[in-house]
Each structure stands twice: as structure tokens, then as C-alpha cells.
Amino acid sequence: MARPLPGAPAAQALLAEAARRAGRLAAPPGLALVRVGDDPASVAYVRGKARKAAEVGLRSAVHALPEAAPQAELLALLGTLNADPAVHGILVQLPLPPHLDPEPVLGAILPEKDVDGLHPVNIGRLWAGQPGLRPCTPAGVMALLAFYGLPVAGQRAVIVGRSALVGRPLAALLLNANATVTVAHSRTPDLGAVTREAELLIVAAGRAHLITPDMVRPGATVIDVGINRVADAPGQGRLTGDVHPDVAAVAGALTPVPGGVGPMTVAQLLMNTVLAAEAPAGQEGRG
Ligand code: NDP
């Protein structure tokens, strides 16, 4: 059976390091959490981030705009936060209401305060192998691999999924860490032939149980980023990953869902805020 790779101890270690480094700074790192509208999932995510921020000694503030807020109001708020020296990190909770265009919004955050790592400047720095703030879920995956001492350099890595949020930045991080990287997606013919090549298989497709045991190389490390809500019975939802549970019989190591990559994302956000507070502009981040 595959070695389980729970996220909680790895996230705890990352949070402890963030707390230790925050404590060494002259003033607590400041995190601005920006939310538009009252989508219940976004409200819960922002609340969770603020609670964890307080636990590691960060000073966070939630800026909630009404659902109908015009783009100019959001951009004006970001301008104020960019100019505030006590704010080291700015996070705009996605998704935004449909009338707001996320591209100019994310682009309006100063790159050195972009703790989500989604500003084009930070994406460019990542692909150029230069320091910068890294997207939280992919960086959290790298931190999870490091925590469990799983090798990356020289490994044949396959990522399933090419989104701007997960698959693409993960490809750059793995490449920077000297893996040999393949990115598969919905137009990849014979996905199983590609995934069976992987010594390190990372799945971020958002398709429940897409990866079955026959698609996995025996002994491979399998990281399941997917979070899918499946209905077992009317009105009852359950979270499951992109990897079929039977893969545990073939893989060498496997993350659970929930409780695998999920906790790493928030921990990495707080670590990014500490890095932003520590670093001169452009020097944040590793990997
Ligand atoms: P997107 O929907 O933006 O991207 C999904 C990617 O998977 C696309 O590139 C798509 O290909 C590819 N894909 C979809 N179906 C298949 C298939 N049948 N075969 C091969 N590739 C396929 O999703 P995200 O990247 O934002 O998220 C992926 C998953 O990760 C989701 O379940 C999400 O909930 C979860 N997630 C978890 C986080 C965490 O903290 N644990 C954080 C962020 C996301 P194409 O480009 O061709 O359409």
C-alpha cells in the first residue's frame, strides 16, 4: 500500500516556520484580504485565512466590497493598499462577480505584494527561474514533497492539468527543481500512456477519479490536487480527488483528499506574506 502523505503535518511545519520568521521582523507582516460580494465559499475561505494569519502572528484585515461594486472601486482600494507600507501582502479572493475582469484586477496589485503569485511579473519571474512570489497551491505541493523528503531532481514528472492557477506554475517550479516535466491536458491522446511514464504524478484536472490504477507506474509518488464534490445521496455531498482510491495499491506514496494538498495552500499564502515582508522588492520566494 502507498505511503500516505497527509498535508496537516507539512502545513504545520510551514506555519511554524512562517511564525518563527514573522517573529524576527520589527513589525508583524500585514496581509490585506479583499473580497467582493457574499459568495458563501469565498466568505468562508477569507475567514479561514484571517484566522490562520492571526495564529502565526500576522496582522490581517478583511476588505469586503458589495457584490455590485464597480471595477473602479476595487482598483481604487488596491491602489490604497499598494501605497500602505504596513500592508505587505494583498490577496483578492477569486472568483470575482461576473461583471469584474480578474486580469486587470490581479495586474493592479504591486508584484512585491502579490502573495497569490498570479501577477504577470511574478509568472514571468517564475518561468525565467528568477526569485519572486510563487502561486500558493503549486508552491504548497513543492513544500509537501520537501517535507516528506520525496525526490524531485532528476525525476520524470507528469502534471495532468494546465491551468494558470495550478498546472502551469507547477510545471515551472518542477523544472526549476530539475525534474523532467510533461504537462498533459484534456487534448492529450492516451492519457494513461503519458501518466504511466511518471515517477512523480501530480493531478490537477478537477475530474473525480480520472486517474485509475492502470494509469500509474508502480511505486510512483502521486499528488492529488483535485477537489471534487460528489453526491452520494440527494443533498449529501462528499469531497473526493482526481485519483481513484484504488491507486493506493499501486503508488509508492499518495496524498489523501481531503487533507492532502488543501492545507498547504493557506500555509503557503502566509509564508508568502512573511517573504514579502522580509524581502527587498523582487527577492521573495524560492524554487
Ligand atoms: P481548471 O478547470 O482551471 O483546469 C483543469 C485542467 O485539467 C485543464 O488544463 C484541463 O485541460 C485539464 N483536464 C480536465 N479534464 C481532463 C481530462 N479528462 N484529461 C486530462 N486533462 C483534463 O482547474 P484548476 O487547475 O483551477 O483546478 C484543478 C483541480 O484542483 C480542481 O479540482 C480544483 O478544485 C483543485 N484545486 C485545489 C486546490 C487546493 O488547495 N487543494 C487549489 C486550487 C485548485 P484543458 O486545459 O485542455 O481544458
49 flagged as catalytic: yes
Q: To test the ligand 1 pocket, which listed residue (5, 182, 185, 194) has its Cβ within 8 A of the most ligand atoms?
A: 185
Q: Is the pLDDT of residue 235 over 80?
A: no
pLDDT in tens, 93-118: 999 999 999 999 999 999 999 999 99
Over range 5-33, report the average pLDDT.
97
CA–CA gap between residue 73 and residue 65 (Å, rounded): 9
Residue of 49, 55, 51 whose CA lies nearest to 35: 49
Active site residue 116: yes
User: Could you give the CA distance from residue 254 to residue 252 in angstroms, rounded to a whole number?
Assistant: 7
Strand 236-240, strand 228-233: pairing: antiparallel
171 phi and psi angles, rounded to 5 deg: -60, -45
Average pLDDT over residues 261-282: 90
Grid cell listed for 270: 502566509
DSSP H/E element including 264: helix 262-278
pLDDT over threshold 60, residue 11: yes
The answer, yes or no, to whether any atom of ligand 1 lies below 6 A from the CB of 239, is no
Dihedral (CA of 255, 259, 264, 269) sign: positive
| pLDDT for 237 | 80
244 bridge partner residues: none
Question: Which amino acids are annotated as binding site for NADP(+), given as ranges?
Answer: 161-163, 227
**Which amino acid is residue 251, in one-letter code?**
A
Domains annotated for the chain, with CATH where assigned, are: 23-114 (3.40.50.10860), 136-263 (3.40.50.720)
Query: What is the residue-averaged pLDDT of the chain?
Result: 96
Residue 170: is its pLDDT beyond 80? yes
User: To the nearest whole percent, how much of the chain has pLDDT over 70?
Assistant: 96
pLDDT (tens digit per residue) in 130-153 = 999 999 999 999 999 999 999 999
User: Residue 111's pLDDT is what?
Assistant: 97
Q: Which residue has the higher pLDDT, 226 or 281?
A: 226
Task: Flag whether pLDDT at 286 surpasses 70.
Answer: no
Pairing of strands 180-184, 89-92: unpaired
CA 170 to ligand 1 center in whole angstroms: 12
State the pLDDT at residue 279: 80
C-alpha cell at 193: 500512456
How far, in Å, is the centroid of ligand 1 from the Cα of 72? Answer: 31
Going by C-beta distance under 8 Å and a sequence separation of 6 or more, which residues neighbour residue 39?
95
Number of helical (H) and strand (E) elements in the chain, helices listed first = 9, 11
pTM: 0.96
Please pick, among 52, 113, 116, 242, the residue that the annotation labels catalytic.
116
Q: Is the pLDDT of residue 216 over 80?
A: yes
CA 53, CA 55: separation in Å to the nearest integer? Answer: 5
pLDDT at residue 241 is higher than 60: yes
Residue 232's pLDDT band (cuts 50, 70, 90): confident
Q: What pLDDT, on a 0 to 100 scale, did the predictor assign at position 285? A: 60
What angle in degrees, to the nearest 10, is found between the helix axes of 262-278 and 40-55? 60
Instruction: Tell me the mean pLDDT in the region 250-270.
Output: 97
Quote the pLDDT of residue 287.
Answer: 63
Question: How far is 273 from 114, CA to CA, in rounded Å?
Answer: 9
Residue 249 confidence class, pLDDT cut points 50, 70, 90: very high
